[in-house]
Amino acid sequence: MRRFAPILIALVLLVAAGAWLLREPLRAARARQRAPRIVMVTLDTLHIGHTGPYNPAVTTTPVLDRMAREGVVFDRAYVPVASTLPSHATMMTGLDPIDLGTLANGQQAPEEAVTLAESLSAAGYRTGAVVSLGVLRRRFGLRQGFEFYEDSLFREKRRWYLRGEEVVSAATDWIRQVGNEPFFLWVHLSDPHEPYQAGDPAPNARLTLDGEAVGEWNVINKERYLTRIRLPPGRHILTWTSLREPRPDDFPETAIALSFLRTADLEAWLADPAIDLKQELSLAEPLEIMLQNPGTETVDVFHMFTGKLNLPPPSEVLEEYDREVAYMDEQIGRLEEALAAQGLADGTLWMLASDHGEGLYNHQILGHAVYAQEDHLRMLWMLRGPGVAQGYRETRAEALTVDILPTLLDLLGLPAPEGIRGLSRVPCWTSGCAPRREWWGFGASAEEKRITAVAGFRWPYKVLWQPEPSSGCFNLEVDPFEALNLCPRWEHTEGVPREIAVLERDLRSHLVALQRRFDGLEETTVEEDAPEADEILRSLGYVGN
């Protein structure tokens, strides 16, 4: 028997080694069997109060409402910063923005971080993505792990965003190509993002030459237009007129603003050199530009332009925003139908999350990136499909964007990358998940490269610092959107709950750490395409406001 012992030991070791080598392929095979398809839909600039799953008074999101009934909804879900790139980077890596060094749009997610797409690709899934904002183009680092990453349509569409129908059509084409193979698809919809215009809006600006029509366009949708102007010999008046109907709640500054692009051709024929075509030109009143052709023959003058609406009034913002949310909801339904048409509806794991909210003039704030109000940091997060409870609502434990990666991998039985910050939220509907003790959010200016707001949370309390509007502290359990400031005098927190005092004490050190991290990242931003990157940020309102 003794002489067989070494053989037995060797056999045992060989079997163990074989089991070890087979463990990952078997785990990957089980994952693909559990959920052969994973569809991750991220919803840009979506205020949860304008969706049915978070506000029963809303009736314009029937697809989201149904998916909420069929799956899991997280009530207390938060993003770290109301900015598209860093928020998505945390979703894809399970790491905080301060760990990633991605604190604002225009920076770059690091290559060394393991992404969700990389983990799923290693498990045998085909991986595809269609993004709808220029700040998510591949040069900013989220391309890792995707074999297909559709960001080429921006040039074709002559704007830095895509409409939902364009995104879903591209995603549907890829689904057809993949067929029955296991796949992970990320679809990014940004219709609620500014400019607040749904569908195909009517023209709002007219161009004439000496009173004769040259054309009409909708310029505040931020699309680029190029038109040819036939300029006969002599002196002429080129006139821009706004077709936008005024509203009772227009601000004094409300007006269409034109931006002239590639102005050299037009400048060559200016009769009045005092006009600066390189600045925004307001269409509050008709805008007249004198041109002169000193020659004897008619010439072609090519004019490229785009525009925006300065300070849209609240009535227009809310009306168009809700239309855009309803349109986005329809596009999610179209994506569902595309899967069903291919016979792929069953066994599909859906993850839907918003990357941040929007001010919508709550607290006199319209935008998002530089603020840290609840309007900005609260997110929609829903799951539906294999392994997900039906009709479950998590109301006690917080869910953060860093939790998305470990939650999806846990549902598939796959290990999460080492060193991540996120926690799987699967135990919330299986064995119960504990609330977080503390977490932080912030606002940041890509243009000024500085932290503009910091928010600390110890549920139900929140401490908020930002220069405008005023700082304060709040009990979110009874005051979910910060109507009642418990600390109207920021420097005096006597008599407030201990949690608030602790957060107020720690807030300054957190602000300093964030700003130091920001300062150290100045040389790591994308530089080879700096002019184009700046144009992306400016066109989407992140620079120059």
Contact call for residues 236 and 210 (beta carbons, < 8 A): yes
**CB burial of residue 333 (10 Å; 0-12, 13-18, 19+):** middle
The CA distances from residue 248 to 219, 256, 257, 314, in Å, are 22, 16, 19, 10
The CA distances from residue 23 to 14, 15, 122, 227, 524, in Å, are 14, 12, 13, 62, 39
Residue 1's contacts (CB-CB under 8 Å, 6 or more residues apart) are: none
Q: Is 163 left (phi over 0), alpha (psi -120 to 50) or beta?
A: beta
Question: What one-letter code names the amino acid at 181?
Answer: E
Is pLDDT above 70 for 275? yes
Residue 393's contacts (CB-CB under 8 Å, 6 or more residues apart) are: 72, 73, 75
State whether CATH 3.40.720.10 applies to domain 2-197+314-436. yes
User: Average of pLDDT values for 144-150?
Assistant: 96
Lowest mean pLDDT among 25-34, 114-123, 405-414: 25-34
Q: How many CB atoms lie within 10 A of CB 414?
A: 19
- The pLDDT value recorded for residue 21 is 46
For residue 377, give the nearest of 443, 323, 331, 299 by alpha carbon. 443
The owner of tokens 């692009």 is 261
Give the global pTM: 0.90
For residue 264, give the nearest of 321, 204, 222, 304 by alpha carbon. 304
Confidence of residue 199 (pLDDT cuts 50, 70, 90): confident
Confidence of residue 152 (pLDDT cuts 50, 70, 90): confident
- The pLDDT value recorded for residue 175 is 97
- The pLDDT value recorded for residue 262 is 87
Confidence of residue 201 (pLDDT cuts 50, 70, 90): confident
Q: What is the DSSP pairing of strand 126-130 with strand 439-445? A: unpaired
Share of the chain above pLDDT 70, in %: 90
Please indicate whether residue 194 or residue 493 has the higher confidence score (pLDDT): 194
The shares of helix, strand and coil residues in the chain, as percent rounded to the nearest 5, are 35, 25, 45
Q: Could you give the residue range(s) of every CATH 3.40.720.10 domain in the chain?
A: 2-197+314-436
- The pLDDT value recorded for residue 158 is 85
